[in-house]
Amino acid sequence: MKKTLLLIAICMASFLGCLDLTIVNTALPAIQQSMNTNINVLQWVMTGLLAALSSTMVLSGRLGDLFGHRRLMLVGLILFGGASLLAGIAPNIYVLIIARVLQGFGIAILYTTPPAIINHLYDKQKVAKAMGYYFSASSLGIASGPLVGGFIVGALSWQWIFYLNIPIVLITLLICGTLLPKDKVLKTEKLDILGALLLSASLLTLLIATTQLGSAHLILSLTFFVIAILGFIFFIKHEKRFKAPLLNLNLFHHSAFTLGGIANVALACFYAVAFFLMPLYLHTVLKANAIHIGLLLLPTTLTMVVVSPWVNRLVEKFSVWKVLAAGFACLTVNAFLQSLLNEQTSLITLVGVYALFGCGWALILSPSFSSALTTIPREQSGAATGTLGTLHNAGASIGLAFCALLFSDKSQQLTAKAFIHHQKTPFLFITTVTGIVCLVLIRYMFKYRKNSL
């Protein structure tokens, strides 16, 4: 009962963190009107959170390994709840952006700490099942954000999308603070401050570079890319010399961990592009309003929620690599089918295509994490989770930047005919990406099977 209640609380925290990533999208027009700001400033409401999240995930994982996952979980909940309150009462756009950055730091903790806690609470036979529930909650939060945000903004005001977090944070904080076992004796390793700064600065610079790709500042974007690459080079050299590195590069010597990272990047790239284009298609081509868009996206989210709890059984029956390969096969077919959608697409066809997306997503998300983490020593689980999460967000950022660049270059006027024509390229691109990953997984699957004989 105690573990079940803790798992529910952890899933609630995960749901909140993921919900906050997407719920704000539907509120941006209301925020812009209320704050009387322009698009260039408004975009930092999203970019500020993503920058803070991406640049601190590995650090959050390492802090959990060094100082205790319980302590860090409580700090993350307090930080996220306080930042939500600040965002709700923000008197101007700049305070709101600061609050979103603080939320990003809190979400980084809520991303990396729960999987590590689950990995410690359950034995290896039950970790995958618990992870399935955890990622179901995460997926539900991401997917329900636009629909929930649309209803809240319409019925109340945009401030309430932030106030909504506070009571749930308080309940989760009470359960975790009471039931989570106290952390063991703290480790004495020295925290890699320079490594944390180098990694955070490099990731932040890379993110800024990707956000500038679709603008007129090409030279500035290339400059940031060069700085980011140099930063990553210095980071890797520093990590090899440091006795207790922030990121243990030996993690990538485990083929399962490396493949899990590749799967995470490809999945995040896919859903970032798909979730960017799907609402635009529904609005521009099928003329759906905000609430109808949320309803039409439900086949993806509902399928994912339904399939996720069954994924562990499929893994036990067929192996994790077969399930991952099947998931990427679903996404490959889905991306190709989405490239063919037009004004004449029937509702039944649309529901089937979007449901296939949700099925593929569910088959990949939990197994890609659990297969990677089960090969890693438990004392490194926090850093490993942070690494996977960082790769995941990097994949989403790069995929979305590529899609935005492609769209801004070719579809200045979003007529239905132009949209249908130009959506083919990004969908065919992610068809290729997921197809290649599927083939890599099939090859590894046969290699793994041969070695196990």
**Amino acid 216: pLDDT:** 60
- CA 16 – CA 227 distance, rounded (Å): 34
- Asked if 158 and 34 touch (Cβ cutoff 8 Å), the reply is yes
What lies within 8 Å, CB to CB, of 106 at 6+ separation is 17, 76, 77, 79, 80, 81, 83
pTM of the model as a whole: 0.71
Phi, psi for 287 (deg, rounded to 5): 60, 35
CA terminus-to-terminus distance, the chain: 40
The pLDDT of residue 412 is: 45
Q: In 10 A of CB 150, how many CB atoms?
A: 21
Alpha carbons 241 and 245: distance in angstroms, whole number: 8
pLDDT at 352: 92
Taking residue 166's Cβ as centre, other Cβ atoms within 10 Å add up to: 15
Rounded Cα gap, residues 60 and 45, in angstroms: 22
pLDDT digits (tens, 9 = 90+) for 259-277: 888 888 899 888 878 877 7
* Integer Cα distance of 286 and 279 in angstroms: 10
- Note the pLDDT tens digit of each residue in 196-213: 788 778 877 877 777 666
CA gap 327, 317 in Å, rounded? 15
**pLDDT at site 148:** 83
Non-local CB neighbours of 75 within 8 Å, separated by 6+ positions: 109
In this prediction, residue 214 carries a pLDDT of 57
Is residue 237 within 8 Å of residue 364, measured between CB atoms?
Answer: no
What residue ranges of the chain have pLDDT lower than 50?
A: 409-412, 451-453
The CA distance from 425 to 421, in Å, is: 8
287's torsion region: left (phi>0), alpha (psi -120 to 50) or beta?
A: left
